[in-house]
Structure 1
Amino acid sequence: MSTWVEMLKSSQKTCLVQDGRKKIHYTFKNHTEMAEEYDMATFDLSVRKFRKKSTLGSSGQWEYEIGEATNITNIEELSIRESNTTPRFSAKYSKNAFQWRIRNLPYPLDNYSITVDDEKRQLVLRTKNKKYFKRISIPDMDRFHLPLDQNAVKLAHANNCLIISYQKPSQIIEHEKALHKELRKMKASKDGDVECNPS
């Protein structure tokens, strides 16, 4: 059993159902927190974020592994802001694949190439016109100590959005099936977090 699986099993869990999502909060023995959000219909994972306690015991900022922060900012208060044509990268995992979307990339599909960097354990995205470059790590592959496979990568492009998919290996699919079975059993509050245990 991997260290990651052991951490999940031994963590304290709470859950909440809100806005069509099941939100799971984990507290690990080292006091690191993880929060995940699953779509109630598909059980696709749309958010995974972590935060650690400081040496003084206060909670740090959330760091997103999947999804992105939804901070609402008054645009009139911003003197400098990101252009709405800047490429935007986000991750969203489905049942069978790790998937990333990069919006605002207008170039045709044949302009992109993606390769596996075995040494750095990353996917490397390049464009022929040298307008975009991105390295992508897959934390779950690292947690399970699995090698990356070039044949597992696929690209698609539509509506100025590049979609990168990496087929999940069977070890991760089986782990997630077992985990999701337990998460579906958890009793959840619609009003706030409650202590949750499989029923």
Structure 2
Amino acid sequence: MAAPSWLERLRAANKIARVQDGNRMIHYQFEDGKEMAEEYNVKTGQLVSKWGSRENTLGGSGKWQVEVGNPSLPLPGPLESELIKESSSNPIFMRKDTLTSFQWRIRNLPYPKDVYSVSVEKEQRCCVIRTTNKKYYKKFPIPDLDRYQLPLDAAALSFTHTNNTLIITYQKPKEILAAEEELQKELKKIKSGDCDCKIQ
């Protein structure tokens, strides 16, 4: 028997919804014990942030991982220790999607656009940022493509540079656009309550 698709897993998950500060948060609990939380702008339907939980080595629930949204903002629930902070001048990598594309922003990169190259590594299933001056290098996956088992397409990838920020855009494939449309129909059926669905 084939494993359920990601959309089927989302449909089968136990979901709780609540609205706060103009955003609607959906908290998913999957059959395997993993959790995910998504936050959407109520007016635009735009995904604002997404977190996924990871199990720790002892089988308990591990830390929440920021997948979309500002990683420097505190997560809902118990705050992580902030004894060690990165320098504010270090490059800041974050994902901020649009309705039609996955998008990443790397702030504090002052070099001109022709210094950067952004490519797809199909075998490693990731994107790679390189600079000719060897000042910045980063590999990052696109978890959404992995979940839907879709190949990476170099033609979908583009980038620009403005105000010391490198902006990388990957156009969402039609399969993901269709799945997201289906998911939004499902989420509209969930009544938003005043339940406490903070990320623990």
Q: Which residue of 2 aligns with 1:71?
A: 74
Q: Stretches of 4+ moved more than 4 A in 1?
A: 52-58
Q: Which residue of 1 aligns with 2:52?
A: 50
Equivalences, count: 189
Alignment check: 8 A CA contact 2:11 2:186 kept:
no
Q: For the residues of structure 2 that align with 1:53 and 1:89, how far apart are their CA atoms?
A: 24
Q: Which residue of 2 aligns with 1:176?
A: 180
Q: For the residues of structure 2 that align with 1:17 and 1:180, how far apart are their CA atoms?
A: 15
1:119 aligns with 2:123: yes
Q: Which residue of 1 aligns with 2:167?
A: 163
Q: Which residue of 2 aligns with 1:12?
A: 14
1:101-140 to structure 2, matched below 5 A, reads 101-140=105-144
Unaligned runs of 5+ in 1: 195-199
Change (3 A) 1:58 1:148: closer
Change (3 A) 1:69 1:3: farther
Give the TM-score normalised by the residue count of structure 2.
Answer: 0.85
**CA displacement 1:95-119 (0-9 Å, x = unmatched):** 1101101011111212111111111
Unaligned runs of 5+ in 2: none
Alignment check: 8 A CA contact 1:37 1:47 kept:
yes
Alignment check: 8 A CA contact 2:54 2:65 kept:
no
Overall identity of the aligned pairs, in % = 48
Q: For the residues of structure 2 that align with 1:87 and 1:162, how far apart are their CA atoms?
A: 10
The letter for the 2-side match of 1:161 is T
Alignment check: 8 A CA contact 1:14 1:193 kept:
no
RMSD: 2.3
